[in-house]
Amino acid sequence: MGRLFGTDGVRGRANADLTPELALSVALAAAHVLAESDRSHPPLAVVGRDPRASGEMLEAAVVAGLTSAGANVVRVGVLPTPGVAYLTAETNADLGVMLSASHNPMPDNGIKLFAAGGHKLPDDVEREIESAIEAAASGDPATAWQRPLGARVGRVNDLLDGADHYVKHLLGSVAAPLAGVKVVVDCANGAAADIAPVAYREAGAEVVAIHAAPDGYNINDNCGSTHLDQVAAAVREHGADLGLAHDGDADRCLAVAADGSTVDGDQIMAILALAMREAGTLTGDTLVTTVMSNLGLKIAMTGAGIHLVETKVGDRYVLEALRHGGYALGGEQSGHLVLPAHATTGDGVLTGLQLMARMAATGASLAALASVVTPLPQVLLNVPVGDRARGAGAPAVQAAVAEAEAQLAGTGRVLLRPSGTELLVRVMVEAATGDVAREVAERVAVQVRLASPAE
């Protein structure tokens, strides 16, 4: 078996790549790997999902796998991924399971796992779970698990007020009411549909909610953080101060200013980093970012006396750096921001609250706050491939990258990254002008396609 876990859990087409049988196997193995063996009581697992239709099927399989391992299960229903992480910690559970494919289209789904405390899993634990699944599938009696019988089989309960606990937690992160802030929130017909409008209203903002009627099929459908034109149009229509856009599981947040211009994760990080340094809460005057962050962010933060720590792409790598260094803020250009004082993982609704709190505290517009960062023109091409490793690593591809870097000569950069969840190689180029960035990106993309044609 190859690597099962990608950048953010196990993901694929529901009932094709990600079958109920696989979901059961992952849950069973996770229970054995993550649950403490010396506990005097059965292990406890929290299970939540986003509203996509296949989540109902996969939830049943995950619950079956967990209970067959002797774990008791608390189902929290439809809830953002960070809400499941929070409740995993709050209930002292041994593990948490979130069923979501994040920003992916409806036919996809995924399994995200949390260890005790609501923390995402490091690579070595994911590999241990993969090995456990492989061993169980081998049929070798020596590796078979002893199945609990009778009263030792796990039980299932529903936590009906889990969303209320999570909203209360979010509101505790805001020091003052958001009076005077009018916001349009695009809930992506996803897990934020009930949570985000309530949290923003109770924090004091005037809220216009769009795409907040999930039916199981319309999640991320031409809406949310991957379609900012929708929220931008609504901001202009309603005369709002800003717009916020979440993805299907609400672990990310992107924004638009009053004029509809985009404010990405890099700019949001800069706004919050400066606010936290002013408040004395930006530990070590350090911001944790990934290699995908725009050079404009680094230039702005360096000029402000804020140090950057760079990680691989993926909010769990940001989380590892935050925990290792004891830092207070990190995130990704895509809108995954992590504030360890309030969350163990990326939380889009928390990010939205903190961004509006800065606007309310300063009286400044979002555009004015975001202007601290002048992004370099950036082009990102998603190139379909048959084999991600070859698409990114073939000699002709590497030669094209070297030639491009020589051409840019320190005025930009080239980054190739195989997707962790799809058969894509992402070609990202930054340069002094958009025309140069696009020309270089397309030239590299041609070599990627030739090296590994899409099937």
371 is in an annotated binding site: no
Q: Using H for helix, E for strand and C for coil, what is the string for 141-182?
A: HHHCCCCCCHHHCCCEEECCCHHHHHHHHHHCCCCCCCCCCE
Parallel/antiparallel/unpaired status of strands 108-115 and 10-13: antiparallel
435 is in an annotated binding site: no
Residue at 317: amino acid letter: Y
Count CB-CB contacts under 10 A for residue 399.
11
Three-state secondary-structure class, residue 439: helix
Parallel/antiparallel/unpaired status of strands 253-257 and 262-263: antiparallel
Rg over alpha carbons for the chain, rounded to the nearest Å, is 22
Beta bridge partners of 424: 384
DSSP state of 6: B
Q: Tokens 């017909």 label which residue?
A: 189
* Residue 130 phi, psi (nearest 5): -60, -40
Parallel/antiparallel/unpaired status of strands 413-418 and 72-78: unpaired
Residues 6 or more apart whose CB falls under 8 angstroms from that of 279 comprise none
436 in Cβ contact with 414 (< 8 Å): no
38 is in an annotated binding site: no
Closest C-alpha to 50, from 168, 226, 193, 211 = 193
- CB-neighbour burial class of residue 324 (10 A; exposed 0-12, middle 13-18, buried 19+): exposed
251 is in an annotated binding site: yes
What's the number of CA atoms in the CB half-sphere (13 Å) around residue 29?
23
| Active-site annotation holds for 102 | yes
Q: Return the percent helix, strand and coil in the chain, to nearest 5.
A: 40, 20, 35
**Joined tokens for residue 1:** 């078996």
**Joined tokens for residue 210:** 């769009």
Residue at 295: amino acid letter: L
Closest C-alpha to 118, from 253, 332, 319 = 319
CA 402, chain centre distance (Å): 31
385 in Cβ contact with 450 (< 8 Å): no
133 in Cβ contact with 29 (< 8 Å): yes
Q: Of the listed 25, 54, 100, 102, which one is catalytic?
A: 102
**So which residues are the catalytic ones?**
102
**Annotated binding site for Mg(2+), which residues?**
102, 247, 249, 251
**Annotated binding site, which residues?**
102, 247, 249, 251
